[in-house]
Structure 1
Amino acid sequence: MIAPTTLILWPPVTAAPLSSAISSILRIPPDRESETARTEAVAAECLVETKRRFHYRRGPRGWQNRRIPPPRSTLSHGDSPPPCPRGVTYSSPMPPTTENFQVDLRGIVEILSHNLYSSPRVYVRELIQNARDAVVARGEHGDLPPVELVVDPVAGALTVRDHGIGLTEADARSLLSTIGASSKREELAAVRREFLGQFGIGLLSCFLVADQIEVTSRSARDPEAQTMRWVGRGDGTFTVSPAPEPLAEPGTLVRVHARSDEAEWVGADRVRRLAGEYANLLTVPITVAVAGDPESPVQVSGNTAPWDLSEDEAADWCEEVFGFDPLASFPLDVPMLGIRGTAFVTGTAATGRGRAGDRVFSHGMSVASDNTQLVPEWVSFARVAIEAGSLGLTASRESLHESSSLATAQEEIGHQVRAGIERLAAGDPEVFQRFVDVHGPSLLALAVAHPEMLEFVARHFIWETSAGDMRLVTMPARITFTTDQREFSTYAPLVHAQGGLLVNGAYADGAEMLRAFNRAQTRLTAREFELPALLKDLPAPRGEDAALAETIGGTARTVLDAFGVAIEVRAFRPVTQLVLHVPGRTAGFTFEEEAEDDPWAELLGGATSLEPADPVDPRPTLVLNLRARAVRALSGGLAPTARADAIRALHLLSLLQAGIRLSAEEQAALAGALETLLVAAATTEHRTEEDRG
């Protein structure tokens, strides 16, 4: 005799597959034909009775692996299951069983915390986003129902209630427990984009602060839908069961129980601040309340976007959010991508080279407060508030998905910022001049990035030069520029005294802008400053000074040859420039070096046998200015030791002027030279006093 067995019926199938299941339960060997036939009969009878007395419902994933009771008219409360053949009984309703996530939950949370989300704070945004998506998905006309956040300080929990589309049990299982396990951020992002509303992964973000999450939901898709309750735990298990307290209306209620060490994240002030930051521009009403405080509900959404405000109101918004009163503002609009925004120009120069970042929204939800993807890098003078429109988000919802659409948007935004600058220059010269005074270097970056702006920047940017502040359009036809601030400070007076113009190109992008402008037009020629080239233009001593220069030069050579330093004596202005240091050079090429391989050499014979060029002295050079009294004094009645030390001191001075750091040996030499000169000066003064006495 076969012992009674509990049978949990599966979705309606034909008798043959059902018989296999029953065979397994009853442990009937498949090779015993009589037993097999009997099993098939049992299965057929059970199937008939089940169809008559019980109803099954096909869900989005096919027939559900559960029993669903029929309408009350078919099976009233207290009805017994249909009779089954001897040896088989039906099961009574069973309590919810604990199941495991079909994912390594701890691994997913690890990915969320270290690779996907920047901070646990995002769980508030994810809950609001899920609730907002559910409300929008329900698609009812008229006013959108509110989303309510309630903080329970006693229980250390946050509850979020929406009146959106709701979840069925099948939704709960697929969205909350079957997220594909992945250890890669890219794969997790792909999974997130695949799921409707990105609900599952968004809800799992709550595990960043909690060990237990409760979801109570009633689907709006089916008027007769039951309220289901899903409880997920940090140990990787979950349960799905009918809710003990059904929801009166469709929607979802999520309750997050914070861990003791993360209780701050469910505090009233923290939740209110985060909700206000994330939901500020959402059209769905979002309220935050504290349990037990009937006066606490505060609406944190529904504010007007800054790009829809008046100029004065937008300036107030900028000061409140970005922390500065804007010098000017430019509207931004890319209709084909649904992008709208405002660029606020700061009244102070940017610190550092990078941009501070922009406030980016997606359909009203805050994405980031420091995003640098939408606005070109050269717009360092402004911060932008902008709606990203149809641009996609990454899995974390904290940045924009890199795409061709994003590149198109950035290019168009850059174009509109350039147009705004030009409008400002034409319409408000006074404000524009303040802009140039504060953000001049940003104009250089603009010109480098967009050659069509070179002429505009040439007309407006003011350069520091050896002749004072000037614009490129007012400079002479030939100029030189330096890429080093110290070099400019050292040689600007010298170049100016010789009648040339040296431009300070040491600004960020300054030299590159000058090179680009030099290539783009023919009126002005800009060359990079080279000290050896300047040396050729310095005048040589004439008349009686020529002999003096020869004497001083010869004396100096005897001292500096030992240090590998060459000597030049010139007479130039300003007289305050005693010396110059010219770095060493490598020998240049001559036609003689090329003649051996020149195919024309044999035909032209000696015509290409030019005299070798004067050999280039590769040593660094000390240039003495004979107009300076200290240099002319080298020919006076100095003791040989004092004269040698004076020449050595002048050489070391030239190194310091050129920005070269002295070695320990050179520092000692300079100290010794100064000591010799001071002692000599003191001795001379003492003798003078004696002579007077």
Structure 2
Amino acid sequence: MNDTQRFQVHLTGMIDILSNHLYNEKDVYIRELLQNANDALTARRNYHEDFKPYIHVSLTESGDSPPTIIFEDNGIGLTEEEVHQFLATIANSSKGEKTFGDTNSDFIGRFGIGLLSCFIVSDEIVMVSTSAKNNETIEWRGKADGTYEIRKLEGKTFTPGTKVYIRRKEKLNLPGDCFEISTLRQTLKKYGACLEPNIILAYNGFEEEINRWSHQFANKSLLHQMSSTDILAFGSEILGMDYQDYFFIENKTGRTYGIAYIVPHTIHMNAKKSNAVFLNRMFVTKESQHLLPDWALFIHCILWTDELSPIASREDFYQNDALEQVRESLGIAIKKNIIDLPDVTLSKLMHIHYLGFKALASQDDDFLSFIYPYLPMRTLNGEQSLQTILKTDETVYYTDTVDAFRQIQDIARAKQMNLINGGYTYDIYILNKLSLLLSNHQLRLIDPLEMTDTLKKLNSEEEELFVQIINEINQKMNDFKVNVELRRFEPNHLPTLFIHSHQSQEDRELERIAESSNSLFSDLLMSLQPQEPARPILYLNWNNVLIQNILTSDKTAEQLCVIVQILYIQALLLGHYPLKNNELEMMNQNLLYLLKLV
């Protein structure tokens, strides 16, 4: 016959898990005490009692004795049976069944390990509780070694509620513990700012109400009636930043709502999100990373919810279907509010946070259709809004890379083309989409190779005059896998035009990487190249005085080749292309050659 045995729990080890592994915040015991007090008040309210709820916190110091924090509430209290059931049994909560996916709880805590967190800072927890159910008063003393004592207090009438005493450990080594009044005050404000019951802090005979002003912001109907001055001040207090603009957001269920503050400075796309979230009015986190869409970096939010499930540490939320639905719904709400912003506010917002808006516009066609006139783009005339760009010409050209823009910008300017540099983050996606969405404008992607069709060939006499020297130059340039051609083009002051296709750039980069790799990897890279790699073209401008003087001078073929090679190196450097080994060697040799001629 098999004997049924029970697991034994080592409480000291459990405390280590709580303090060093489960909770990131070391002041979590204050949150747990606030949470338990608030839930007790909720339970008494559900018990249909008419009373004025409060939470009273005091810090007492007596001579050389360690300081003591006393938490008191006038909630429902615990019976003796409930004390045995919920305080002596780890992970058994008085808030009912722990269905973690459930989003319909009025209670904050549901894991049944909250009070144990006090052992992080205290060797003994004393709790005196009077139950509203039977008016019995029970004293419970729990020790960090896993033992506890219970006794009934008789002979005196107590009102319903609970008092918890935690005395600081003699040798506590926890920086920033809450047994110092300013830290305790700050921690109570952090966790309890939006709790509905009055939170009173007492010290040295003085009392202050911690949440007198801040608790009203969690009331949705009151929130919309508050002044902008108060709302901006609240954002500054909770999020630690001064804001100038905000709007309200709410998901479709109405159970997650709050304030979206517009960040007054540019945010890096990889920056951590700063969003404070309260669950049933209790602070959960100020760094929620998953509750808003990734593109919503231009706002910091304070949100209240009662429909999400906290993880065990209650410092974040489960990433489940409920959270995904809330995130999607809040994203829709943010977009709607952006659309409704005044033009002045929207323009200011766009100036600071254009990258976040471009990220959103690249994913959402409907939003793009609204926001595109305000989006800034780089053009031949500097940065301009799309609204300004599209007013100037019916046809607007754009490149897909910064390099392609650099290659043709001079010749495009000479032809008075309206050209956008589409090589910056998100721009090519936006421009490609707009080319399909806008029926009254023609947005056209242009390849640098297309521009070569506009270059004029020399007449037959000129062609015959220079064909031999151009052929000799090309033979010399063959080692560098570049072709040289003579053309006429504007602007006249431009001596050369270097056209480098996507394929020729890829081939060049493969060769450059292969040069700095070992022989095995180098051979592997070179095997990826086509047998006939695409070649860039260096166009010499016959309209340019320098080119005319060079080609009509009495220079030898060797000297002309040296000059053209120098022009080629110049074109590479102006285009920000790293030089290959043979190009560096050629540049050095040509400089030495020129020095000998001087």
The TM-score bracket by the shorter chain reads: 0.7 to 0.9
- Offset from partner CA, 1:242-300 (integer Å, 9 cap, x none): 1679883332222333452126312222221111111112111112233xx112x3221
**Do residues 626 (structure 1) and 532 (structure 2) align?**
no
State the shift of 1:202 in Å. 1.6
Which residue number corresponds to residue 32 of structure 2? 126
Pick aligned residue for 1:580 from 498, 503, 507 = 498
1:240 matches 2:149: yes
Give the AA of the match of 2:534. Answer: P
Indicate the residue corresponding to 2:117 in structure 1: 205
Q: Output the amino acid matched with 2:151.
A: P
Cα offsets for 1:90-134 (capped at 9, x unmatched)? xxxxxxxxxx99434355445434553222122221211111111
- Give the AA of the match of 2:25: S
Root-mean-square deviation over aligned CA pairs:
3.5
Q: Secondary structure at the match of 1:674?
A: helix
**Does the 8 Å CA contact 1:498/1:538 hold for their aligned counterparts?**
no
| Secondary structure of 1:112 counterpart | helix
Kindly provide the amino acid, as one letter, of the partner of residue 358 in structure 1.
Answer: N
Correspondence for 1:23: none
1:250 aligned to which of 155, 160, 165: 160
After superposition, the C-alpha distances for 1:538-576 in whole angstroms (9 at most, x for unaligned) are: 333346654465355223212111233222333223333
Partner of 1:459: 373
Q: Does 1:173 align with 2:173?
A: no
Q: Is the 8 A contact 1:585 1:616 kept in 2?
A: no
Report the equivalent of 1:214: 126
Are 1:553 and 1:567, in contact at CA under 8 Å, matched by a contact in 2? yes
- Whether the 8 Å CA contact 2:104–2:306 is kept in 1: the answer is no
Q: Which has the higher contact order (CA 8 A, sep 6+)?
A: 2
Q: Shift in Å at residue 199 of structure 1? A: 6.4
Change (3 A) 1:125 1:482: farther
Q: Counterpart of 1:371 in 2: which secondary structure?
A: coil
Q: Find the counterpart in structure 1 of residue 18 from structure 2.
A: 112
Aligned AA for 1:316?
A
2: CA distance, partners of 1:477 / 1:506 = 22
Separation in 2 of the partners of 1:422 and 1:281?
A: 30
**Kept after mapping to 2: 8 A contact 1:130/1:199:** no
Say if 1:555 and 1:462 are closer, same or farther in 2 by CA, change over 3 A.
Answer: same
Partner of 2:508: none
Structure 2: give runs of 5+ residues left out of the alignment.
Answer: 1-5, 93-97, 505-530
Answer yes or no: is the 8 Å Cα contact 1:229–1:240 preserved in 2: yes
Q: Which runs of 5+ in 1 are unaligned?
A: 1-99, 182-186, 587-614, 684-693
- Equivalent position of 1:332 in the other structure: 249
CA gap of 1:507–1:174, structure 2 versus 1, over 3 A, is farther
Q: Which residue of 2 aligns with 1:691?
A: none
1:146 aligns with 2:55: yes
Q: Which amino acid aligns with 1:433?
A: S
Aligned pair 1:161/2:67, yes or no?
Answer: no
Query: Counterpart of 2:498 in 1: which secondary structure?
Result: strand
2:141 counterpart residue number: 230
- Which residue number in structure 2 is paired with residue 471 of structure 1? 386
State the partner residue of 1:362: 279
TM-score when normalising by structure 2 = 0.80
- Could you tell me how far apart the structure 2 residues matched to 1:487 and 1:365 are? 54
Q: Are 1:564 and 2:445 an aligned pair? A: no
Q: Is the 8 A contact 1:102 1:180 kept in 2?
A: no
Q: Match of 2:276, SS?
A: strand
Q: Tell me, in whole angstroms, the C-alpha distance in 2 between the residues paired with 1:495 and 1:232.
A: 81
Deviation sequence 1:399-454 (CA, Å, 0-9, x none)? 23334343333333222222222222xxx333332222222233222322321122
State the AA in 2 paired with 1:445.
Answer: A
Deviation at 1:344, TM superposition (A): 1.6
Q: Which residue of 1 aligns with 2:210?
A: 300
Q: Establish whether residue 275 from structure 1 lines up as the match of residue 192 from structure 2.
A: no
Name 1:33's counterpart in structure 2: none
Question: Compared with structure 1, are the counterparts of its residues 637 and 208 closer, same or farther at alpha carbon in structure 2 (3 Å cutoff)?
Answer: farther
8 Å contact from structure 1 (residues 568, 623) kept in 2: yes
Q: How does 1:179-578 map to 2 (within 5 A)?
A: 179=90, 197-198=109-110, 200-223=112-135, 225-233=136-144, 235=145, 237-242=146-151, 248-256=158-166, 257-258=168-169, 259-262=171-174, 264-266=176-178, 267-290=180-203, 293-295=204-206, 297-302=207-212, 303=214, 304-305=216-217, 307-308=223-224, 309-334=226-251, 336-354=253-271, 356-424=273-341, 428-468=342-382, 469-471=384-386, 473-474=390-391, 476-485=393-402, 487-542=404-459, 545-547=462-464, 550-574=467-491, 575-576=493-494, 578=496
Compute the TM-score of the two structures, normalised by the length of structure 1: 0.70
Are the structure 2 counterparts of residues 147 and 506 from structure 1 closer, same or farther at C-alpha, using a change threshold of 3 Å? farther
- Distance in 2, Cα, partners of 1:495 & 1:507: 19
- In structure 1, the partner of 2:525 is none
- 1:327 and 1:191 mapped to 2: Cα distance? 38
Deviations 1:586-609 (A, max 9, x none): 8xxxxxxxxxxxxxxxxxxxxxxx
**Does the Cα contact within 8 Å between 2:407 and 2:448 map onto a contact in 1?**
no
- Identity, in percent, stands at 23
Is contact 1:355-1:379 (8 Å) kept?
no
Which of these two proteins has the greater Rg computed from alpha carbons?
A: 1
Name the counterpart of 1:55: none
Deviates more, 1:433-442 or 1:203-212: 203-212
Instruction: Read off the aligned partner of 2:353 and give its amino acid letter.
Output: H
Bigger Cα displacement from structure 2, 468-477 vs 453-462: 468-477
CA distance in 2 between partners of 1:573 and 1:464 (Å) = 22
Measure, in 1, the Cα distance between the counterparts of 2:89 and 2:573. 71
Query: Which whole-Å CA distance do the structure 1 matches of 2:281 and 2:108 have between them?
Result: 19
